[in-house]
């Protein structure tokens, strides 16, 4: 991949698709060897969540309480795994995020792992990412979700509602809620017409912080593992300082730049 392609990988048509729909994909990102290595790493993390938990930002409480029913989901894997840490700074990710966010400087917010074992009933209820992130402003964030396994509708690939990034902010939904919970909050004219995006291992979908998305159960006989990398514009500030933004992160004051070693600038325009 040339340097230009790393820093601005998408064609004007792809950027227009992202702007219209609020998501883009599938986008090839990782090589096969990287996928195989990351699968082992993610398996290790998921199998050792109890001991690693103090070093992570958050392990989904509903999963800890009901692992048979709720998807394994945690934040902060980059703090314990060096390869996840490298990926945070990888130009294949940062260039893509910066181009779609249209920023000169891009900052890392946090990472997430979503693991649905084979035959697991857990879903990720329809949600907008920013509904969990209102303590950081302005809302100028983007998510890159990389699949480590082939994922189609049977294994619970991501689904998006095209255009929903224009709907304003909907209530946040707990991950132990039913898949369709958010539909109770939709207004007349907010047409809920989801589009599933099947993705092969190593490819990603990229979505706007307000795009409604979710995923169904994994009915297949294979695991369905995904890594999400969340980025934001480098000028993002604290909009609510009632607690640290993430567990273990230094307390930042109201209006302060979300900066420091946990929130590095990962991309700058040449």
Ligand X SMILES: O=C(O)CCC(=O)C(=O)O
Q: Where are the beta strands (DSSP E) in the chain?
A: 23-28, 58-59, 72-75, 105-116, 124-127, 136-137, 141-147, 158-160, 195-196, 203-208, 213-215, 224-233, 237-238, 265-268
Residue 252 makes contact with ligand X by CB under 6 A: no
Residue 60 makes contact with ligand X by CB under 6 A: no
- For residue 150, how many other CB atoms are within 10 A of its CB? 16
Which of residues 72 and 252 has its CB atom nearest to ligand X in the complex? 72
Residue 38 makes contact with ligand X by CB under 6 A: no
Which of residues 7 and 163 has its CB atom nearest to ligand X in the complex? 163
Residue 99 makes contact with ligand X by CB under 6 A: no
Measured CA to CA, the distance from residue 228 to residue 71 in angstroms comes to 14
The alpha carbon of residue 58 and the mean position of all alpha carbons in its chain are separated, in whole angstroms, by 14
Residue 143 makes contact with ligand X by CB under 6 A: yes
Question: Of 158, 232, 238, 246, which lies in the binding site for ligand X, with binding defined by CB under 6 A?
Answer: 158
Give least dist CB 213 to ligand X, A: 6
Question: Of 226, 238, 245, 258, which lies in the binding site for ligand X, with binding defined by CB under 6 A?
Answer: 226
Tokens of 84: 């996840």
Which of residues 215 and 252 has its CB atom nearest to ligand X in the complex? 215
Residue 126 makes contact with ligand X by CB under 6 A: no
Residue 204 makes contact with ligand X by CB under 6 A: no
CA 12 vs CA 9, 15, 70, 195, 203: distances in Å: 10, 5, 39, 22, 20
Question: Of 124, 197, 204, 233, which lies in the binding site for ligand X, with binding defined by CB under 6 A?
Answer: 124
Site for ligand X, rule CB under 6 A = 114, 124, 129, 143, 145, 158, 213, 215, 226, 228
């Amino acid at each position: 991949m040339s340097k230009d392609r790393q820093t601005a990988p998408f064609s004007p048509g792809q950027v227009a698709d992202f702007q219209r729909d609020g998501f883009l994909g599938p986008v090839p990102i990782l090589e096969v060897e990287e996928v195989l290595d990351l699968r082992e790493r993610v398996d290790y993390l998921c199998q050792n969540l109890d001991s690693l938990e103090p070093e992570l930002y958050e392990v989904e409480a509903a999963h800890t309480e009901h692992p048979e029913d709720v998807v394994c989901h945690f934040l902060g894997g980059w703090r314990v795994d060096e390869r996840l840490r490298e990926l945070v700074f990888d130009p294949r990710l940062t260039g893509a995020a910066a181009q779609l966010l249209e920023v000169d400087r891009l900052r890392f917010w946090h990472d997430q792992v979503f693991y649905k074992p084979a035959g697991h009933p857990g879903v990720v209820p329809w949600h907008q990412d920013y509904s969990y992130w209102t303590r950081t402003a302005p809302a100028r964030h983007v998510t890159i979700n990389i699949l480590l396994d082939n994922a189609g509708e049977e294994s619970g690939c991501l689904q998006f509602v095209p255009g929903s990034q224009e709907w304003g902010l909907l209530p946040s939904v707990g991950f132990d809620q039913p898949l369709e919970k958010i539909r109770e909050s939709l207004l007349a004219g907010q047409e809920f017409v989801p589009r599933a995006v099947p993705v092969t291992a190593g490819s990603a979908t990229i979505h706007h912080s307000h795009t409604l998305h979710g995923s169904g159960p994994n009915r297949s006989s294979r695991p369905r593992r995904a890594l999400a990398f969340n980025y934001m514009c480098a000028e993002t500030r604290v909009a609510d300082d009632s607690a640290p933004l993430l567990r273990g992160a230094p307390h930042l004051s109201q209006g302060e730049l979300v900066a420091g070693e946990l929130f590095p600038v990962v991309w700058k325009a040449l």
